[in-house]
Each structure stands twice: as C-alpha cells, then as structure tokens.
Structure 1
C-alpha cells in the first residue's frame, strides 16, 4: 500500500509539472563541513545573511504544525536538523504545507537556507526552500524492527550478540535500527541507510587496505595485477570455481591464489612485487570464511632479515 501511494504521489507531481527526480541540484557544502563550520554558533543565533545549500537523506520527520516541520537530514553518517517554517520560507504560505506533506522518511532532498541554532541549542539549517531530489518508494525500518528488541530487565549484550553477531568488536547491535542479520547482509544499501555505525566498517576496511598499500609502496614494492581466470588452478590447496569462456569454448578456473604468477614476475626480474585483490575458493563458508575474499600477497627477492 505504501509503495502504491508513493507512485500515485509521483504521478500527481508530474501532473502538476514538477519533476520528482530532478537531474541537478547545486550543493554548496557537505553536511559534515556544515556542522564543522557553524558548530560555534550559540543557542538562538541565526546568520540571516548567509545562504547555504545542503543535500541528504531524511531519516526523521516531525510535524509541529501545518506551518512548521522538523527533519533530521543525514549525509555520509553526519546529521543536521532542518527547520522549515512558513514564516521564513520562499514558498507561498498556501503551498507550504502541500510542499512538505509529500516528504517522507528515506527521501533525498536539497535544502537552501541559512545557518543557525534553535532556541534549544541544536545546530540547524533554516530552510527557505526544500527540493525533493529522489523520493524513497519503500518504507524504511523503524526503531522496533528486527529480532533483537530488548526485553525489559533481561536483555544482555551477550544475548544480542548471540542473535545478531557480526565479525569484529565494538559493534553495538542493540543500537541498530535494522537488526535482522539476513536482511542486513542481503540488502547492504538498507543496512547503510539506517544503521549509521555500519559505515565505519567500510571506512576501516578501506583504511587498512590503504595502509598496507602505502607500507609496501614506501619499501619499493611494485603493485601488479595477475589473471583472475586461469587454465590451471594453483597457488593453494583449495577447490576452484569453474567458469566457461564462450569464444574459446573452454573452461577456466577462478584464481584461488596469485602466488604462481607473482613468483613468475620475481623470476623475470621484478624483485619486489605485491597484489591486493580477490581470490575465490569453492569451499564451505561462514561469517569469517568467505568463498570470495580480498587477499594480499607480496614477494621480495634476496631478503634474509625481517623487514621493518
């Protein structure tokens, strides 16, 4: 029903000459930079002569009255409050409620307004204009969605971890909005939308790979790429995945390790080589053992001591 209602809303906007998915919106500043830039403002302070434009996803909407709306706008895991009031909006007062009534949780919107803090001290952008950039057609999970909802006085971290454990430490699954692990892993985009802590996993992985690459580059290792598909599987004792090359009419094996090709490069005279890339092993798997994983192998000729 929600999906059908949203489709009808899109049709009504188009009938009124409004494109619900505009192709362009000029962003003056990211939400993270906005928060850093105006964090020093005092409670109730407004910069009426300053105009900023932000874009992000609406994760919360609160209606104070037909002339005042509040939104929590998120971008790259950072939140800023949007205050939209008819008194300072560029939208005609007769159209103000209609403009904001179509905005739902999950929508991506553009905000043009001035910075300030609310009387309660929350950093906000006071919207003179709100542009719907990408409506979300499906309802986002709410705080009560998932399997690991707390049982008053009885829920422990151990119980939550037993139900929704993911590899690593420091993951507060009890704070997740979307807790069902099957849904989280199959719909990663939804997991990232509503569980903002998860993006730290992606950032950490990227930084680890960057550190390894920088560590080896600084020691004059040469990064190379070796074939993903091979006539003969080798480099490790594991069962390979098999694929078929239509043009050559032959079976090929997805690599289980880059070892043999890297050693051939060393034989050819490249004394220090490494590769960071995917490897595939057609074996059993669990949360810590994936049939498709990223590996790093490096080789160095004439090395007799521990590298520092």
Structure 2
C-alpha cells in the first residue's frame, strides 16, 4: 500500500472517530429524522431585499470551509444551488461553534440564521443555530480537479451530481423534455397507457431480447424490445389515440448512442397515416427544443442543427441512387443486384439478400453519415419493414419513414399494416430469415394476427428514441451523460 492510500485510509478513520465522538456526547447525526426548511439558496438570493434581516432555516452539504478562531465561513449546497453561511462563536455558542469547527467537507447541516450581505457584497446567512444532520464518512473529490474520471462519474453518479452542477442541469432538462412530450400529446387527446415489459413474444422491432424465466409458471419469458404490438391491440379495442413512454431492453452492444436499457415512446392514432406522423414528429421535437432551450436551433458538439418544421423529406431509394448512381430496383434479378453491390460498392452482401435488403444496406453504409440536419427518409423496402403498410403505387416499398438528425435515427414511423393475411405472410418470411441465421428477425405472434383479424382501423404509428433526442437537445456527447445510472460492467472485487 502506497503513502497516498495510507493517508486516505487515515482520513477516513478520522471521520469515523469524529462520528464516535459525536455519539459519545449524545449528538449522533444519524438519529435526526427531520429538519424544517423555510427557504432554499436560490430563493434567498433572488428575494434578498424582501428577506434581508429575516430569519431563515436552510439545509445543505458543506462544500467549502474557511476561517479560524472565533469566526468562520462555509458554502453549503442545497437542491437549488449554493449559499454562504457565517458562524461566530458569540452567536452560536462555544459548544456548537467548537463542533462546527470539526465538521468536514461533505457533511450535511441545518442552519437557522439571519439573511445579510457581507462587506464583499455576498448574500449570506448569519447562523444562530447549526445542527449536523448527516456525517459524511467518505471524502469528496478535491475542489479544483473535481470528479473528472468518466467511468467513475457514471458509477458514482451521486458524487458526480454533487461535484458537477452542469450534470444536474442536464438531468433537469431531461425532465423538462419528457414532461414536454407528455404535455404535447395529452393536449392533443392522446391517452397514456401501460403495456407488459415481461412478454412471451418480444416483437415490434428487429432486435435481440434479454431472456429470463418465470419460476412459478415454468415459462421462458423476454424483456420487451418494443411496445408496438400491444399498443396496436389497444387501437383494435377502441382507443383511438394512445402512447406509452418507458424502458425498452435490447441485448445489443454498448456505445455512445446505445444503452441496453433505454427510454422510448411509441404512439398510435386511428384513422391517420405516416404523413400525419411526420408532421407530429417534427412538431414534437420543435416543441421540446423551444421548451428546454428557447429556440429550435441547437448546437451539438459544434454543429448547429435547426429543428424548425418543415423538415426535409426524401425517399431511401432516391438517396441511394443519388449517392451511388445505381437504381437497384431496375435490375431484373436479386442476383444481379447483389453482384453490383459487392463489386461496385464493396458492400458485404449475403447470398439471401434481395434488392430491398441491398437498398437498405447501401443507405445505412453510405447515406446515413450525410444526414446532419433533420431529415425524413421515406419508403423503406418491404423486406425490412414487416409491420408497415405497402405503398399502393409500388408494392416493393412501404409507407414508412425514419427521422434522422446528426446522422442518428431519432424516430421511426409508418402507416400500420392492418391486413392480417399480409401480416402473417410477412411474419412467416421473418421466420425463414431467422432459420437462415438472422437472430433479429421478427418472431411470429399469433395473438397479434388474431387482433388484426378482429379489425385494426387505418392507423399511423410512431416511435421516438427519447434518450437520443435528449442528447441532441442538451448537447450531450454520450448516452451515458443523460441516463442517471447507465449499464456498466461491475468492477472486480479487490
């Protein structure tokens, strides 16, 4: 063990000794159950003229201490910010002042006192009473360097929030965005609902689910990868406008824009289509941008993105043809399309790929990286859209769109397929793809087919990746920066 570790262990022991001393004199802070607060730091500063000379009661964590002898200053941090307190021995009394002098950075205290302004002009509270509410037995990061280690920040978010005020601000913005989405939809007649997280068929998307087992039923189950199929069942049942915002789970990789557990919203409206959903998408995002930033323009990592409607609309096929000069649908056979894609575009082509698969792959590999400003990419191939309605003028494509910004997909929507015969055939094709090795192919859902046979009205559906949207609107480079407790590999026991 090096000297630094020895010193740290010694400091931690000193804090525990201080706690024991407090307990020995009947001042155990952990016996305090409640403390009456009359004001918070930001409120006192904002209303100084009204509160000057009046008694307030505040509470917070000690972040700095200075002074010695018979007078001391400390900054305490509460839920709204920081404020300075001034303690003087002849006001708080010798015993309490002596105890206060032993309190550490990180301790939580309650303070009663008079609001005043120091000679330096700083709004402060002149303490008449100081009570230790919680003894901190750990040591906060050093003042000037703070908590900078990214991995440690995510693992110990509680310390991150204490030491980095901008982190708390990001999560307050997250809360405003989520409330804004709900308000936008509630005001337009949508009903918020809840659907199962534990399912026997994880459908509604192309993704690999997490597996679990229900012991009592002796039943293998899965965590949902999407809530689409249950929400459409509710449309069948007579709810015309529904949405659900909540956690989805996908057993996939982790990256700056992927977390296995993430927040998404899906919404469905009877008697509407994908055109309606495009308008709804751009207006939801613009509304949230205004709500949290006061403008539709955001600066994301040095790039200005303007979410003001209307957004650009372009078909996937046109983007691919524009980028490559190749019209894959013009080829007479899938085999010819595969050959051209491999030889001219150097794409990794599977022997079972159709022209539609190739168009989608070319788009993902060659076109997505150019989509910086908000863009609706339309008319995905039917092969990669098993739940979307076919375009009536071209049965090879669907009335579907994905919304992109900063090269990221942030939304996915379509006119919902409500033909039960077509839907079953597409599920069967997905099963064939699964047998050929595609682990993300959509499973068969017989009950959903039954629901469609009961009758799903013409319906538009939309899914928005809430976490990615929050990243863009808060200028957060990693999804871990906007999830309180992102998925992390446990540290090995030492």
Task: Determine if the alignment matches structure 1 residue 254 to structure 2 residue 258.
Answer: no
Task: Provide the rounded CA distance (Å) in 1 between the counterparts of 2:165 and 2:104.
Answer: 19
**Secondary structure of the equivalent of 2:139?**
coil
CA contact (8 A) 1:39 1:123 kept: no
1:226 paired residue number: 195
1:113-140 CA distance string (max 9 Å, x none): 1000001100000011110000111110
Post-superposition shift, 1:40? 7.2
1:62 paired residue number: 66
Task: Provide TM-score, normalisation by structure 2.
Answer: 0.52
Query: Per residue, is there more helix in 1 or in 2?
Result: 2
1:3 paired residue number: 12
**Secondary structure of the equivalent of 1:285?**
coil
**Secondary structure of the equivalent of 1:71?**
strand
In the TM superposition, 1:189-268 aligns within 5 A as 189-268=158-237
In the TM superposition, 1:169-208 aligns within 5 A as 177-208=146-177
Over 3 Å counting, the alpha-carbon distance change for 1:263 and 1:113 in structure 2 is same
CA contact (8 A) 2:40 2:80 kept: no
1:34 paired residue number: 44
CA RMSD of aligned residues (A): 1.6
Task: Determine if the alignment matches structure 1 residue 14 to structure 2 residue 17.
Answer: no
Task: Provide the rounded CA distance (Å) in 1 between the counterparts of 2:163 and 2:172.
Answer: 17
Over 3 Å counting, the alpha-carbon distance change for 1:98 and 1:79 in structure 2 is same
State which of 238, 250, 258 in structure 2 corresponds to 1:289.
Answer: 258
1:280-300 CA distance string (max 9 Å, x none): 000011121111100010000
Unaligned ranges ≥5, structure 2: 1-9, 281-494
Task: Provide the rounded CA distance (Å) in 2 between the counterparts of 1:178 and 1:274.
Answer: 39
Task: Provide the rounded CA distance (Å) in 2 between the counterparts of 1:96 and 1:67.
Answer: 12
Over 3 Å counting, the alpha-carbon distance change for 1:52 and 1:77 in structure 2 is closer
Count of residues paired in the alignment: 267
Task: Provide the rounded CA distance (Å) in 2 between the counterparts of 1:117 and 1:296.
Answer: 48
CA contact (8 A) 1:113 1:129 kept: yes
Post-superposition shift, 1:103? 1.0
Task: Provide the rounded CA distance (Å) in 1 between the counterparts of 2:34 and 2:119.
Answer: 33
Post-superposition shift, 1:96? 4.7
CA contact (8 A) 1:279 1:294 kept: yes
CA contact (8 A) 1:226 1:261 kept: yes
CA contact (8 A) 1:67 1:96 kept: no
2:108 paired residue number: 108
CA contact (8 A) 2:61 2:106 kept: yes
Post-superposition shift, 1:97? 4.4
1:167 paired residue number: none
Task: Determine if the alignment matches structure 1 residue 99 to structure 2 residue 99.
Answer: yes
1:117 paired residue number: 117
2:79 paired residue number: 76
1:278 paired residue number: 247
1:43-92 CA distance string (max 9 Å, x none): xxx62xx21110011111112x2211111111124111001112322x2x
Task: Provide the rounded CA distance (Å) in 1 between the counterparts of 2:114 and 2:131.
Answer: 15
Query: Based on CA coordinates, which of the two structures has the bigger radius of gyration?
Result: 2
